[in-house]
Amino acid sequence: MTITPYQIVAPLLSLVAILYAWSLFKRDRKTLWEVVLWALFWGALAAIAMFPRLLTYLTIATGIRSQANAVIVTAIGILTFLMFSVIVRLEELSQRYSKIMRVLALREADLEDKRPK
Amino acid sequence: MNVAVIPALNEATRIAAVVKAAQPYVDRVVVVDDGSSDGTGDAARAAGAFVLRHPENCGAGAATMTGIEAARRMGATNIVTLDADEQHDPKDMPALLAALATGVDVVFANRFGQCNNIPPIRRVFNGIGNIVTLAATGMWISDSQCGYKAFGPKAVQELKLRMNGFEFCTEIVRETVQRKWTYTQVPVKVLYSEYTLAKGQSFANGVKTALKILLRSFLR
């Protein structure tokens, strides 16, 4: 069996992603449940990269028959992931906007936080 | 000190009644006018509530967090949140506060815990909301999407909502898991009317909310 660079890089990338999620859990920024969901996603990605034959079980549903197709599907998955990240960033901006509204509302009601920052 | 927090958007015709009904059960009623254009804030103030106003509409989650922050700064030890559309009966507040007195950190009201006349479509939507919440947090709450909740001293100090919209209900469940709060569920009465049904979330909005919750739990 020939091992392609992709089959080495993808599992390593998945490992880094899972370790990152675990570090977020240790810092109380992710719940254990969220780490499990994250690990399932990246684990599946790594498994497909290492054992492309796994996809034969999905051939009927997806039409993926070769390693090249698997790479394309993975690329689409990563792009989707990036798009979702952008959506989350937009949401964060909206949250910052709400924070400003909150500060204004509290200030107007004389409930401003007077503790030193 | 017990404080009721009521986020409100364009509820000028209802808010006074909700404030007056809540006042006997808490020390203070805080209304957050979330950018209303119909005088909701003035109506709430006239009814005796402490009113904060968002200059622009931010969403139910953001308004709730503003109210909680205000209550904290007033020195609240317990906070009860409820809707402004008369859907929740303030007469259930003593039951929620009594549950807090047993030492739990959060009390989730459960509209399905007693014989309420809830339209079937609402039951289906709430069931889907519960399943999405379970998928996102790993915790099953019988009525996860209900805005009627009570928070004890620990939760009052620690609660931090980031989500602006209706997703905040699921975020509270997540906070319960994350911060290891103890919780209980108390059956409450729900008063559905044509008005409250018309004001509820649309199906499309519900789907959007569900996707946001799942996405957030994954990418957080």
Size of interface A-B (CB pairs under 8 A): 82
Predicted confidence (pLDDT) per residue in A27-37, tens digit: 877 788 888 88
User: Which of B138, B161, B143 minimizes the C-alpha distance to B63?
Assistant: B161
> At residue B96, what is the residue type?
L
- Measured between CA atoms, the residue of chain A closest to residue B60 is A98
User: What pLDDT score was predicted for residue A23?
Assistant: 85
Report the C-alpha gap between B88 and B25 in whole angstroms. Answer: 14
Predicted confidence (pLDDT) per residue in A88-117, tens digit: 788 889 889 999 999 999 999 988 776 655
Contact at CB, A102 and B51, closer than 8 angstroms: no
User: Which of B73, B67, B81 minimizes the C-alpha distance to B26?
Assistant: B81
User: Which of B135, B126, B121 minimizes the C-alpha distance to B211?
Assistant: B135
pLDDT over 60 at B150, yes or no: yes
User: What pLDDT score was predicted for residue B189?
Assistant: 85
Q: Residue B219: how many CA atoms within 13 Å on its side-chain side?
A: 19
Contact at CB, B52 and A105, closer than 8 angstroms: yes
- Measured between CA atoms, the residue of chain B closest to residue A38 is B218
Contact at CB, B50 and A95, closer than 8 angstroms: no
Q: pTM for this one?
A: 0.78
Measured between CB atoms, does B220 come within 8 Å of chain A? yes
pLDDT over 90 at B81, yes or no: yes
Contact at CB, A91 and B65, closer than 8 angstroms: no
Exposed, middle or buried: residue A110 (CB in 10 Å: 0-12, 13-18, 19+)?
exposed
Report the C-alpha gap between A30 and B178 in whole angstroms. Answer: 8
Q: What is the ipTM of this complex?
A: 0.82
